Amino acid sequence: MRKVLKKLISMVVKEIIFVWNYLQYNVISAMEFRFNFFSQAFFMIINDGLFLLIWYFFFSRFGDLNGFGFLEMMALWIFGAGGFGLVNAIFGNANNLGKIISNGELDFYFTFPKNHLLHALVSRTDLSAWGDLLFALIAFVIFFPINVYSVAMLIFGIVSGAFILLSFYILIGALSFWLGRNEVLNDSLFHAFLAFSTNPSSVFQGVVKFIIFFIIPAGFATFLPAELLQTFSLAKFVYVVIFSVFFFLLALFVYNRGLKKYSSGNLINVRS
């Protein structure tokens, strides 16, 4: 048992080092086009800020929605933008997974000794995602008190949200194993996740609430972390942890089932 555990830990550490090395490589590559990198990140911060400005006008005019006000909206956006930013900065290809599968481009990653899925996900960084991540941090510093609890919840919420979003990306990407080219469906489901995770949670009730938590799980990615940032609840904390792990395992299970249906695109080539 101890041997298995040791092997598992060593494997995870190796994968983390691999991701870290790839991230450094991606950032160095992005730095080749410095203006491009900084402008995309900078404009994404402005972009997120402008979106919140619309909500500021809205809440100024109508007040709270069932107890959900501008501060709650900020918390939602911190985890929405933060989780999205973290995933797409590190696993910038996650959004393209469906396309990679339907184009038969997984072949390229099969030729390497590393885990092909992990390799495919980390082989790109989304430049603007760094702006989202930075926006989350700036918004947190401006609107929330900085103490050990809030910083811990910020990190916890962003990491768990990123984990859930990454799993969601893998799940919707894996649909391509069965459906083939389905970029629009992929895109629609992703935008559904974004729409649910960045709109006032207090207005959703009944079946819709069930969908938001268990079908398009934006609820676990942003609603609960946003509530935890303001008030601690052990139950909510545990729900997020359990769901993040469960959803990730589910995504891997579905992906591996789909992989059996994968047909090669005969695209083995060398990257320059």
Partner 1 sequence: MKKINKYFSIFKVSVRDRLAYPLELLYANIFILLITFVMSQIWVVIYAEHPEKLIAGFSLGAMIWYVFMTELILTSQPQIILTLGEEIKSGNVAYVLTKPYSFMAYYFYFSFGRTIVTMLVKVLFGVAILSWFVTLANVTFLSILATIIAVILALVLNFMIAGCISLLAFWLEDVHSMRFIYQKIVFIFGGLLFPIDIYPEFLRKIIHYLPFEGILYGPAKTLVNFDLAYWQILVAKQSVWILAFIIIIKIVYAQGIKKINLNGG
Residue numbers at the binding site for partner 1 (CB under 8 A): 33, 35-36, 39-40, 42-44, 46-47, 50-51, 53-54, 57-58, 60-62, 65-66, 127-128, 181-185, 187-189, 191-192, 195-196, 199-200, 202-204, 208
Give the residue among 137, 122, 114, 110 at the shortest CA–CA distance from 48.
Answer: 137
Residue 133: CB minimum distance to partner 1, A: 15
CB environment 3-13: b (16+ within 10 A), e (fewer): eeeeeeeeeee
- Residue 136 or 189: which CB sits closer to partner 1? 189
Q: What minimum distance in Å lies between the beta carbon of 102 and partner 1?
A: 12
Q: Which is nearer to partner 1, 63 or 113 (CB)?
A: 63
Minimum gap (Å) between residue 74 Cβ and partner 1: 17
CB of 43 to partner 1, least distance (A): 4
CA 240, 244, 246, 250 torsion-angle sign = positive
In DSSP notation, 13-63 reads HHHHHHHHHHHHHHHHHHHTTHHHHHHHHHHHHHHHHHHHHHHHHHHHHH-
Q: Which is nearer to partner 1, 62 or 260 (CB)?
A: 62
Nearest distance from C-beta of residue 199 to partner 1, angstroms: 5
Is the CB of 1 or the CB of 54 nearer to partner 1?
A: 54
Minimum CB separation of residue 45 from partner 1 in Å reads: 10
Question: Rounded to the nearest whole angstrom, what is the least distance from the CB of residue 81 to partner 1 in the complex?
Answer: 13
Please tell me the chain's helix, strand, coil percentages from 3-state DSSP, rounded to the nearest 5. 80, 0, 20
Backbone angles phi, psi at 65, to 5 degrees: -110, 100
Q: Are 94 and 169 in contact (CB under 8 A)?
A: yes
Nearer to partner 1 among residue 136 and residue 153 (C-beta): 136
Instruction: Using the minimum distance from each CB to partner 1, give the nearer residue, 199 or 244.
Output: 199
Structure tokens of 36?
A: 């491009």
Bridge partners, residue 68, by sequence: 65
CA angle 103, 106, 108 (to 5 degrees): 110
The tokens for 143 are 């609107």
Q: How far is the CB of 185 from partner 1 (least distance, A)?
A: 4
Closer CB to partner 1, 111 or 188, in the complex: 188
Q: What is the DSSP string of 140-191?
A: HHHHS--SHHHHHHHHHHHHHHHHHHHHHHHHHHHHHHHHSS-HHHHHHHHH
Cβ nearer to partner 1, comparing 39 with 150? 39
